[in-house]
Structure 1
């Protein structure tokens, strides 16, 4: 999500328009810089070094804060140098969002189905079905070798976990 902020500056009688857009990178960089500033101030409350400490306890946190601050500045500068593309309409953006995340959404639905089937069909059958389908979604089963690997890993893993819990840990699975 982006929001726009237009700055109008007068230059010799002409109006120049500079468009600054708050992108995710810029928002992240600004938020991190704010957090670094707050943490730097808070690091002043760390007790001062004792006689046997040459640098004190605040040195390492402050080194990390400097590194994070410099990297945040780098993100901010790089985001200012990149031209922000024009945004498509809301319907197009929503469609693209679902297209890019369809595998993740399918895995969430599959996990819900797995949780619902677990008490009905039992641990081994539900887990083997869940693993086979999950691996198929993630790996893209297009060869016989991938199918064999998927079935082998799914069956072995489900049975091994069942045996470990049932006989090793004495925990009953459905």
Structure 2
């Protein structure tokens, strides 16, 4: 019994088997639109010079605005395709999300790490991220937790010391540094 290499979506489009369907495209394009929106806001703070009447952030903001519009258009199109799917096909999406829950959890943990980095500083944020990540990935026994603590200490404090003393690059210190 062979599995076909392509599937048809309700809109008649062909998707490769095993690839993300409309919901995956919606989520990806919304995430990209959010990222490009954040970059759009940050581009306003680019320094300007007297030689650039529109400012140095004008071209990046134009490109980012176009990317946001494109991603939102794709997300809207794929959301319509997802809503046209049968309930059985939508149930497969939930099963796919459940199978990949660990990847989503690590991604969410990384997002929290990036947000906390300016406030906690590199060492403390990295220590917490590495400990939580190792626990999330299965370090539950006393031996595994001890190894996780050693790894987290070496990589958070060690990398900070390496960058500060060897490369002479200051990583974020945070409110407690």
State the TM-score, normalizing by the size of structure 1: 0.50
More strand by share: 1
State the TM-score, normalizing by the size of structure 2: 0.49
Higher RCO, 1 or 2 (CA under 8 Å, sep at least 6)?
2
